A and B are shown apart, each in its own frame.
Chain A
Amino acid sequence: METFDSVILILASGLRLSVPLILACLAGLWSERSGVVDIGLEGKMLMGAFAGAVGALLTGSAYVGLLAGVGASILVSLVHGYAAINQRANQIVSGTAINMVCDGLTATIGAAIWSQGGRTPQIDSSALFNEITLPFADAVVGVPFLGPVYAHLISGHDIVTYVAFLAVPLTSWALYRTRFGLRLRAVGENPAAVDTAGISVVALRYAAVMICGVLVGLSGVYLSIAQAAYFQPHMSAGKGFIALAALVFAKWRPWQALATCLLFGLLDAASIRMQGVSFFGVGKVPVQAIQALPYVLTVILLAGFIGKAIPPKASGIPYVKER
Chain B
Amino acid sequence: MSAPLKPLPRWADVALIPLLNVAAAFLISGLVVAVIGESPWQAVKLLIGGALGDLEGIGFTLYFATCFIFTGLAVAVCFHAGLFNIGVDGQAYIGGLGAALVALHFGFLPGPLLAIAAVVAAAVFGAAFAAIPGYLQAKRDSHIVITTIMFNYIASALMGYLLVYVFEVPGSNNPQSAPFPPASLVPHFFELLAPFGIVWPNTPFNVSFLLALLCAVGFWILIWRTRLGFEIRTLGANAPGAVYGGISPARVTIITTLISGALAAGLAVNVILGEEHRLILEFTSGFGFVGIAVALMGRAHPFGIVLASILFGILYQGGAELAFDMPKISRDMIVVIQGLVVLFAGALEHIFRAPLASLLVALARKPAPAEG
A and B together in one complex? yes
Residues of A within 8 A of B (CB): 39, 79, 83, 86-90, 92-94, 96-105, 107-109, 111-112, 115, 117-118, 233, 238, 241, 244-245, 248, 286, 288-289, 291-292, 295-296, 298-299, 302-304, 311, 320-322
Complex CA–CA separation, A108 to B342 (angstroms): 18
B327 at the A interface (CB under 8 A) = yes
12 cross-chain CB contacts under 8 A: A39-B86, A83-B348, A86-B1, A89-B346, A89-B348, A92-B84, A96-B342, A101-B336, A104-B332, A105-B32, A291-B153, A302-B136
Question: Shortest distance in angstroms between B309's beta carbon and chain A's nearest beta carbon?
Answer: 17
Using CB atoms, name the residue of chain A closest to B342.
A97
Asked if B329 lies at the interface with its beta carbon under 8 angstroms from chain A, I say: yes
- A111, B140: Cα distance in complex, Å: 45
Interface pair B140/A303, CB less than 8 Å apart: yes
Q: Is B150 a contact of A115 with CB atoms below 8 Å?
A: no
Q: Which of B298-353 contact A (CB under 8 A)?
A: 327-330, 332-340, 342-343, 346-351
Output the least CB separation between B27 and chain A (Å): 14
Whether B289 sits at the interface, judged by CB under 8 Å, is yes
Interface residues on B, range: 35 or more
Option from B36, B151, B336 in Cβ contact (under 8 Å) with A104 = B336
Verify A87–B142 contact, CB threshold 8 A: no
Show the binding face of B for A, using Cβ within 8 Å: 1-2, 32, 36-37, 84, 86, 136, 140-143, 145-147, 149-151, 153-154, 157-158, 160-161, 165, 289, 292-293, 296, 327-330, 332-340, 342-343, 346-351
List the A side residues contacting B32 at CB < 8 Å: 105, 108
Beta-carbon contact of B342 and A100 below 8 Å:
yes
* Cα–Cα, bound, A117→B323 (Å): 11
Contact of B142 among A109, A115, A303 (CB under 8 A): A303
A292 to B159, CA, bound (A): 11
Provide the residues of chain B in CB contact with A233, threshold 8 Å: 332
Across the interface, do A96 and B330 meet the contact criterion of CB distance under 8 Å? no
Contacts A299-B142, A299-B151: A83 and B347 contacting too (C-beta < 8 A)?
yes
A248 to B84 Cα, complex, angstroms: 18
Contact B330 A97 (CB under 8 A): no
Which residue of chain A lies nearest to B155 when distances are taken between CB atoms in the complex?
A292
Contact of A100 with B346 at beta-carbon distance under 8 Å, contacts A112-B37, A302-B146 already known: no
Which one, B36, B147, B349, B351, contacts A112 given CB within 8 A?
B36
Report chain A residues within 8 Å CB of B339: 96-105
Q: Least Cβ distance of A111 to chain B in Å?
A: 4
- B173 CB → nearest A CB, Å: 16
